[in-house]
Amino acid sequence: MSSFQTLLSFGSLTATLIFIRPLINQYLPVEFRDYINFFFKNLLNRFTPTFTFIIEEYDGLVSNHYFAAAEIYLSCKINPFTRRLRVCKSEKEESVNLTMEKNKEIVDIYQGVRFTWRLGIPKFRETDSNPQNLPNKNRIYELSFHKKYRQYVLGSYLPYVLNEAFSTKDGKKAPLKIFSMQKVYDHTSLGKLWKSINLVHPSTFDTLALESEMKKRIIEDLDMFIRRREFYNRVRKAWKRGYLLYGPPGTGKSSLIAAMANYLNFNIYDLELTEINYNSDLRKLLVSTANRSIIVVEDIDCTMYELQDRDMKPAKPYEYYNSEKKKQARIYLSSITLSGLLNFIDGLWSSCGDERIIVFTTNHKDRLDPALLRSEINHHPLFEVIEKLIEKVEVSPADIAGQLMIGEESDFVLESLVGFLENKSTERAVKTTG
């Protein structure tokens, strides 16, 4: 067959396909069309050597560690294959931020293997009316390579990207962020519950107007918290720390929070409880915060008036127009509760995340609900262990006081007290069996 006849045959086939495609879309059921598409894609994939990993920005409400690493790693990959990049720099930043543009590619060569990175947004059907199936600007990276290197990517390349990304981040000391809640979000949205800007605050412990002894105690407490990860795991407690800052306006509560963030290199999440309507939304917001962060609830005494009392019977919605029950009805309509907040701070949900610091600020400590002042919120992980041991053994207050005076380092002292009480418990058990 001559090339001219081949061209004619190809043209006839193309014209036929163009003619029958509208008929297929109009008369064939969607399920059958999907099956045909799946069949032909599967057939083509057998002859395609390329394999692709999809790395989403969020896994539900939790950010994807690999996505964050890829974003940092690729910002340093300017090579002859790169044709287009986004350039950004705020007024207070010292360096330029380079990121990929949507639907553009960056090629990376690692140990002789070619990898192609592409930034995009997942496709979805315009006819899909279920909001739970629609992505909320959830970006993805597509990592494409020859399919024979699939295990090599999982075992070598991706760990290399993680290591390079966070060693680069540590070396450059990435700018701190302060996050605020999105003003509008629905109950089915994935990720993107927070928006951020760079935090450039001059406050440090060197410049903070604070008594030297108090400043030293805070720094030592923060250092102890950071290095005690194994200790928290051993005593089966969530790796978190709580602080209540109270005092008149203008006494430096916000400056102290900024100094803590600068000292620890932690991002800040500003949690505005009055903007939240449901406990489920509160959980979504708190679970979506990153590790190594400070969660701040400012003026908790003012927010307390908006929180529903756990023992109060809610008013009916129509009673909102009754002046005597207006406040109660407003609380009914905004059903976030104090118990919902406490559940994340010190309850079952407190284990969702590590290395987090929770800070409440107030101008009036005396107005706070006693539940917010209970020792468990700012407790040491060993307090509960010690309390249970004291209930089991006979020990005098003088013995406890003596054990608490054997040293100055609180963790060492409390661990010694636990050992002392456990020995007492063992001695009692031996006497009982004897």
SS3 state of residue 20:
helix
Question: Contact at 8 Å (CB) between 360 and 372?
Answer: yes
Query: Would the pLDDT of 409 be above 70?
Result: no
Rounded distance, CA 210 to CA 263, Å? 15
Q: How confident is the model at residue 405 (pLDDT cuts 50, 70, 90)?
A: low
Query: Would the pLDDT of 377 be above 50?
Result: no
Closest CA to 68 of 359, 201, 267: 267
So what's the pLDDT on residue 313?
47
Task: Give the end-to-end CA distance of the chain in Å, rounded to a whole number.
Answer: 104
Residue owning tokens 């990517």: 153
Rounded distance, CA 328 to CA 323, Å? 10
Q: 110 — phi, psi (to 5°)?
A: -130, 115
Lowest mean pLDDT among 1-15, 31-45, 239-253, 265-279: 1-15
Q: What is the mean pLDDT of the chain?
A: 76
Rounded distance, CA 75 to CA 88, Å? 12
Distances, alpha carbon 159 to alpha carbons 73, 156, 166, 168, in Å: 12, 6, 11, 14
Rounded distance, CA 309 to CA 336, Å? 10
Over range 91-117, report the average pLDDT.
83
Higher pLDDT, 322 or 261: 261
Question: Contact at 8 Å (CB) between 271 and 417?
Answer: no
Over range 89-118, report the average pLDDT.
82
**Going from the N-terminus, what domains does the chain have, and what CATH number goes with each?**
49-172 (no CATH), 177-373 (3.40.50.300), 383-433 (no CATH)
Question: Contact at 8 Å (CB) between 102 and 119?
Answer: yes
Rounded distance, CA 358 to CA 161, Å? 31
133: which DSSP letter? G
Query: Would the pLDDT of 268 be above 90?
Result: yes
265: which DSSP letter? T
So what's the pLDDT on residue 71?
87
Rounded distance, CA 200 to CA 387, Å? 43
Rounded distance, CA 181 to CA 271, Å? 7
Closest CA to 25 of 12, 14, 34, 13: 34
Query: Which tens digits make up the pLDDT trace of 21-42?
Result: 676 677 677 777 777 776 666 6
Question: Contact at 8 Å (CB) between 47 and 147?
Answer: no
Closest CA to 260 of 246, 242, 273, 236: 242
So what's the pLDDT on residue 318?
45
Closest CA to 403 of 388, 420, 387: 420
SS3 state of residue 184:
coil
What's the pTM value of the predicted model, to 2 decimals?
0.64
Query: Would the pLDDT of 186 be above 90?
Result: no
Most confident of 59-73, 229-243, 328-342, 419-433: 59-73
**Percent of the chain at pLDDT exceeding 90:** 17
Work out the number of other CB atoms within 10 angstroms of the CB of residue 226. 14
